[in-house]
A and B are shown apart, each in its own frame.
Chain A
Amino acid sequence: MAETTGFFQDMNTVISDLVEKRLRYYFVVKDEDLHKVVIYLFKTMGCRLSTATATERYDAIEVLYHFSHDATGTYYCPRILMTNKDKPQMSSITRIVKGAEWIEREMAEMYGIDFKGHPRKEPLLTKDNSQVRVQPLRARRIS
């Protein structure tokens, strides 16, 4: 597919650890290169953001964005790793993709991730609920 080849050629220097499966591409991107990759996927290729998944691993907090290229049924999943688990911090993509606002707010409240540049840093699901513990999905170790 021309789009896929073009993407990996143009982004060759900023992506690593590519895992390729049938119509799915998972790869690691550094935080400083995230906006470049997201602008290419969302604006240049016309991908749609399905959602993002945050996961706590032994060595890092991981955020995996799921971009769907509807014309070809392909998924591009940039992975961001935050090794400072005490203060996980990364760039927000909400100013590029409006559809990322809610999911970034949800990941922030569930995992304590600070999304730099997010226009609205307040909890989405657990606001005004005093019974919910802070960062409810943390403290589970996934290798």
Chain B
Amino acid sequence: MTGNNIPIGPYHPLLEEAEYFNLVIDGETVVDIDMDIGWMHRGHEFISEQKTFTQSIYLVERICGICSTSHPIACVHAFEDVDNIEIPERAAYIRTLVGELERIHSHLLWLGLAGHFIGYDTVWMWAWKYREPVLQMFEIISGNRNHYGMMRIGGVAQDVDPAVIPELNKHLDMIDKKMAMIAKVAKDDPVLRSRLKRVGVLSKQDAIDYCAVGPTARASDVHTDVRKDEPMDAYPWVDFDEIVLPNGDVYDKLVVRVLETLESTKICRQCLEKLKTVKGPVLNNVKEISAGEGLGRYEAPRGEVFHFVKTDGSNRPVRHKVRAPSYVNIPTFTASCKGIPVADALITLASVDPCYCCTERSFKLMDVNHDPCTLDILALSREKTQQIRRELHVD
């Protein structure tokens, strides 16, 4: 690749995971981008074929630490799809509750990182502070702050004690209040708007062409949300809005996530209300899965997570395909990063909330003359925010 190349990764102190992007720049402008992935390829699909169905659920739970319940939900949907297995109503509400809590903590995690990348460390500390009660809610529900081990074929592993529902509602009240405050900041702060509006635009057509999913697609005016398209578990019975915005820039991606978090708390409240009255078992006794093919999906915080299984009547899958949302969202960088200033590259790359554990992946800036480039991309990004602050006379 010719041009000024700025290498970032695969093991860069700025980034949380192993990743490698090759940005070709001409002066201050990014003219091309290439991605190199595979640094975290662990062969989950192959390993799953050596495991029993229940062991496979535990395995896919460990693909990613952030969406550690989205993969199991999609996985059990796939196994259940082979024989059209139904789950008890109470289990459906518990699955949806756990899935939505994960969306809240994942969006707050992203919001914190995005704030840090553009020099808004207050947002970073707020977001991560208010994420903590969500993890505590997980601990109350499942006993674990992460890797909850809740999903089973035919339902969930454990019930939610009605005695803890008031405490869970109290945490939701606090999250709602704080998210409303963050939403107001995102809407009213002139620096944030100037910094993120019209930055890293992904057009609707590009989002469709690259088959983007989740908030990345919905911020580009593409209606795709598994919870609405193919409602499963308790989603047919709960009331919530699909958040779709028209501009495709980083600002819209931020607003989509903030508003989705508020929708998620709405869903959680409805689930908790139902768990007070809906009685019954939380797990159907599924003795075997017949030979066939099953396809399962779930709207993870980053978009549709997809699992496909092929079974032969034994107690393990003979083929298990996993596709995480970042796998289809990361290639959209090719469309959204070209032509933008280098200082905007970092937040543009971060705007899809790329998960490298799920996708296996990696960042590099190159000079037009192939010279190594020593630009500090985080410092550039944060400096641009400071410059906007000075221009707008905001301290």
A81 shortest CB reach to chain B, Å: 14
Neighbouring A residues of B306 by C-beta, 8 Å: 50-51, 66
State A53–B43 Cα separation when bound (angstroms). Answer: 15
Which B residues are in CB contact (< 8 Å) with A98?
Answer: 209-211, 331
* Contact residues in A for B349 (Cβ distance below 8 Å): none
CA A50 to CA B293, docked complex, whole Å? 16
Residues A127 and B229 in contact in the complex (CB < 8 Å), given A26-B293, A50-B323, A101-B331? no
Within 8 A of A (CB), among B312-342: 312, 318-319, 321, 323, 327-328, 331
Decide: A124 near B308, CB < 8 A? Known: A97-B211, A99-B210, A136-B46: no
Q: CB of B45 within 8 A of chain A?
A: yes
Q: Which residue of B lies closest to A72 (CB)?
A: B229
Residue A92 at the chain B interface, CB threshold 8 Å: no
Number of B residues whose C-beta is below 8 Å from A?
37
B360 at the interface (CB under 8 A from A): yes
Confirm or deny: A48 has a beta carbon within 8 angstroms of a beta carbon on chain B: yes
Which residues of B are found within 8 Å of A124, using beta-carbon distances? Answer: 37-38
Partner of B211, one of A19, A48, A123: A48
In the complex, chain A residues 26-78 whose Cβ is within 8 Å of any chain B Cβ: 26, 46, 48-51, 53, 55, 64, 66, 68, 70-73, 75, 77
Q: Is the CB of B81 within 8 A of A70?
A: no
User: Which residues of chain B are near A51, meaning CB under 8 Å?
Assistant: 306, 308, 321, 323, 327-328
Q: Is A89 an interface residue (CB 8 A)?
A: no
CB-based nearest B residue for A127: B38
Q: Which one, B41, B81, B331, contacts A24 given CB within 8 A? A: B81
CB pairs A–B below 8 angstroms (5 shown)? A22-B84, A97-B211, A124-B37, A124-B38, A142-B310
Which positions in B face A, CB cutoff 8 Å? 36-38, 41, 43, 45-46, 49, 81, 84, 208-213, 223-224, 229-231, 293, 295, 297, 304, 306, 308, 310, 312, 318-319, 321, 323, 327-328, 331, 360
Q: A49-B211, A101-B331 are in contact. List 20 more A-B contacts (CB 8 A).
A: A21-B84, A48-B213, A50-B211, A55-B319, A68-B229, A68-B304, A70-B223, A75-B295, A97-B209, A98-B209, A99-B210, A99-B211, A99-B328, A102-B328, A102-B331, A123-B38, A124-B38, A126-B38, A127-B36, A127-B38
Give residues in A with beta carbon < 8 Å to B: 19, 21-24, 26, 46, 48-51, 53, 55, 64, 66, 68, 70-73, 75, 77, 97-103, 123-127, 129, 136-137, 140, 142-143
